[in-house]
Amino acid sequence: MNKLKITTAVYMLLIPVAVLIIFMRVRDTAVIKAEDPIKIGVVIYRGDDAFISSLAVSLDKEAKAVEEEVGRKIIMNIADAKNSQGSENAQVDAFISGKYDVICVNMVDRTVASSIINKAKEADIPVVFFNREPVEEDLLIWDKTFYVGTDAKEAGTMEGQIVADAYLENPDKIDKNKDGRIQYVIMEGEEVHQDSLIRTEYSCKTIANAGIEMQRLARGVGNWMRSPAYEQMLLWLDAFGDSIEVVISNNDEMAMGIIEALKEHNMLKDGPLIVGIDGGKDAIEEIRMGNMEGTVVNDADGQAYTIVKIAWAMAEGKDPEEEVPELNGKYAYIPHYTITRKDIR
Ligand code: GAL
């Protein structure tokens, strides 16, 4: 065999090998691309808010559930804005420069969403707001913005219904001074939060619509937190003593503060009827012990699943309304349900 023939034979062998290597590389790139994780950046308004911290746990859990369901890896990074809008803006900026696929935001101040939306729009990164609803005008700035939350009117109505049902079943137990009216105090969440005013309005309206007369002794703002509610209830107990017949709380965590204050005054047993919202673990325990009448469950898992599903749909370029039945245009409101003493008994 001469030299030329050997060289030709070597080339003949090498060419298919080279073609195979190139082919494998192209295939490999395609496979890796398909398995590229979806990066979701989440910012919560403050991690020491009991419901929000349970929502953060649900988000992690549901990201794994959606990952399994759709067969694509999801990386979720959750940042805590610690109640500072400035920090939250910086955290969103970091997600934008980190080229996240979708950003989910629980606004500290729900009235300033436009600056986040404008930045996200420039980077073409969809935004799913949750729990703290931006004003509609801001959401309309860009079509890749959504909101996942609950209907505050529904929560208030259900909470009022718990009070009305308990009263109608046994009015004498609640109307301790037998004046035919309910003397009540109301503990409200943050004044700027869409849920506070609406929950208050509808819980009271529902009780009144059931034909029950109400007399408000006082209202206080506990910002969703246990300790301000506890402090406020101590003041109310000093001012009104045992004439408080019902305590309506805009959430469970504040109801826990109220229960603590009543315990301290040895007034929990045969004390006022207490209702809350969220379906928190501690509240369910108090209901089981008979210290609280009931709660309206704010479905953290349901909200988290919907948030992740919208994020995934947007990252994959799918139509989120087709993938997420709860989504109606830009809005998904996850239904509430109640847990009362009767359910646990
Ligand atoms: C509400 C919830 C409150 C508080 C608030 C924070 O939906 O009931 O407990 O977490 O959100 O925005």
Q: Is the pLDDT of residue 278 over 90?
A: yes
Cα-to-chain-centroid distance, residue 62: 13
What is the spatial distance between Cα 181 and Cα 163, in angstroms, rounded to a whole number?
A: 13
CA angle 155, 156, 160 (to 5 degrees): 120
Please give the model's pTM, rounded to 2 decimal places. Answer: 0.89
Which of 44, 251, 252 has most ligand 1 atoms within 8 Å of its beta carbon, as the pocket-test mutant?
A: 251
Residue type, 328: N
Q: Write out pLDDT tens, residues 144-175.
A: 999 999 999 999 999 999 999 999 999 999 99
Which atom, in ligand 1's list, is nearest to the CA of 49?
10
Q: What is the mean pLDDT of residues 245-267?
A: 98
Q: What is the pLDDT of residue 86?
A: 98
Query: What angle do helix axes 226-240 and 252-264 make, rounded to 10 degrees?
Result: 50
Distance between Cα 6 and ligand 1 center (Å): 79
What is the spatial distance between Cα 66 and Cα 54, in angstroms, rounded to a whole number?
A: 18
Confidence of residue 341 (pLDDT cuts 50, 70, 90): very high
Which atom, in ligand 1's list, is nearest to the CA of 253?
9
Distance between Cα 286 and ligand 1 center (Å): 19
247 forms bridges with which residues in the sheet? 185, 274
Give the Cβ contact number of residue 316 at 10 Å. 13
Residue nearest to atom 11 of ligand 1 (CA): 131
Asked if 276 contacts 282 with a C-beta cutoff of 8 angstroms, the reply is no
Q: Write out pLDDT tens, residues 15-46.
A: 444 444 444 444 344 333 356 999 999 999 99
Which atom, in ligand 1's list, is nearest to the CA of 150?
7
Which DSSP string do the residues of 91-141 spell out, in sequence order?
Answer: HHHHHHHTT-SEEEE--SSGGGHHHHHHHHHHHT--EEEESSPPPHHHHTT
Phi, psi angles (nearest 5°) of residue 288: -60, -40
Q: What is the pLDDT of residue 345?
A: 72
Q: Residues 126-129: contacts with CB within 8 Å, 24+ apart?
A: 126/101, 126/102, 126/311, 126/314, 126/315, 127/102, 127/103, 128/102, 128/103, 128/104, 128/307, 128/310, 128/311, 128/314, 129/104, 129/105
Residue nearest to atom 10 of ligand 1 (CA): 51
What is the spatial distance between Cα 46 and Cα 83, in angstroms, rounded to a whole number?
A: 5
Distance between Cα 17 and ligand 1 center (Å): 62
Distance between Cα 31 and ligand 1 center (Å): 42
Distance between Cα 96 and ligand 1 center (Å): 26
Distance between Cα 255 and ligand 1 center (Å): 13
Tokens 């139509």, residue located: 319
Distance between Cα 224 and ligand 1 center (Å): 7
Q: Write out pLDDT tens, residues 38-87.
A: 999 999 999 999 999 999 999 999 999 999 999 999 999 999 999 999 99
Tell me how far CA of residue 236 lies from CA of 182, 232, 240, 311, in angstroms.
16, 6, 6, 45
Q: Taking CB atoms and a 6 Å cutoff, what residues make up the pocket around ligand 1?
A: 49, 51-52, 131-132, 189, 193, 195, 224, 251, 253, 277-278, 298
Distance between Cα 223 and ligand 1 center (Å): 9
What is the spatial distance between Cα 42 and Cα 320, in angstroms, rounded to a whole number?
A: 18
Which atom, in ligand 1's list, is nearest to the CA of 55?
10
CA atoms within 13 A on the CB side of 191: 3
Q: What is the pLDDT of residue 5?
A: 53
